[in-house]
Copies of this chain bind each other. A is one copy, B any other.
């Protein structure tokens, strides 16, 4: 074989993908577990679909339609005989698979069907800094419940979930709005005709996305997008909705309708939607939601009515909600900024209809798990780094059996432990390894110790401290390495570990 002619493969993740190590993995797993516990307590059942769906079942409901590289990872199945293969794709969210599952299994599922799902989703987007093409979502949805009580429940559950994963009350807010109110406002502004719902659909799409960018563009930017359009810093021009000044004023009024109390906000919204039947229905629904939340002790410190929330997705038909973290973090340039949104959702009554022809009411929320983990890390409330194992060093390679027996005894006592399995020749390398592993304790048994029936146990945490800043007295007073009888190994290691955590 002409081996040197073979080009070696590159050892690289594909662009936009990444690896997660150690505590990154276990912290996420722990968070998903806590979220699942809350969802479960609310009566939601787990569902896990596969990562692969047919392209036709997924449909085209991707958010952010104004970005050109948006898409899915798709491929065609192998041909069988004369039949062309199906097109398959990786799921881009957990909602499209839910609609497929409900349509497929509706006769076997309870109605309403409350389900939660957690797992990776894939987006065939242009990767960017901190923007990955695979990420986790964690969703809860109720299918088959027309009442806004289902929406209120999801909002309450979202607030409870954030607290369960470690976001303190006061550090988050769940904001609720209703697309029907926005539609009422659009009616008043003359960009929605209730007798011809398709008319002005493109304009309304632009209005929706403009409002969704309020945080980023400010009111002036949004006003430009409602009118002729807006040129961004790079010089790119985004076409606006073409609304006149009076029309834009009505829409801007909606965005800024939030008042100090729910009552006052609802009253202001009633003024704005005026004679629109759909608008009034939307305000009624918000009022019902506010009442239901109140009865569960969900005050305005946890959930508020906020008309500036619209959510970018086209498929929402009623209440929409968003959870925002309200504390400030420092961005990459050291500037304080609000952390922002970590979850969102709303009512979407038409997704199942694609399959069955029958409208099925549905509402749900999706939590951005990776963003929430980043938020907790920024607050210093992330999971503690997993403790490294006790490392049993190898002084004599012919006595591996003795060392394995020690590790085995430690593990049987519930202590994470391992034998050093690299080349044992250089003891310094073994200590470097223990350091890299974050080991709290090293166990050492050379020929001399073996003869005398003892082992050395070395406190690596204390050792590191002493190396850094202890005086000679302190060092003598509390040596970082002690000799103990072999048969006391487990209890003495345990005592050392306890002294470290106290």
Contact = CB atoms under 8 A, between A and B. Distances in A.
Contacts of A427: none
Contacts of A15: 77, 86
A422 B56 contact: no
A19 B51 contact: no
A408 B111 CA distance: 21
A112 B421 contact: yes
Interface string A347-376: 000000011110000000000000000000
Given A12-B104, A13-B53, A419 B153 contact: yes
A40 B416 CA distance: 7
Given A405-B296, A408-B156, A419-B149, A122 B13 contact: no
Nearest to A13: B50
Interface residues of A, number: 105
Given A50-B18, A401-B292, A145 B421 contact: yes
Among A9, A356, A421, the one with the most B-chain Cβ atoms within 10 Å of its Cβ is A421
Contacts of A354: 8-9
A167 interface: no
A433 B109 CA distance: 10
Copies in the complex: 2
A363 to B, nearest CB: 10
Given A114-B418, A295-B405, A47 B59 contact: no
A484 interface: no
Contact of A46 (B1, B9, B25, B397): B25
A25 B52 contact: no
Interface of A: 1, 8-15, 17-26, 29, 33, 36, 40-43, 45-54, 56-57, 59, 73-75, 77-78, 86, 88, 90, 100-101, 103-105, 110-112, 114, 120, 122, 124, 133-134, 142, 144-147, 149-150, 152-153, 156, 198, 288, 291-292, 294-297, 354-357, 386, 389, 391, 397, 400-402, 404-405, 408, 411, 414, 416-419, 421-423, 433, 436-437
Q: 5 nearest interchain CB pairs?
A: A43-B418, A11-B103, A295-B401, A25-B46, A145-B421
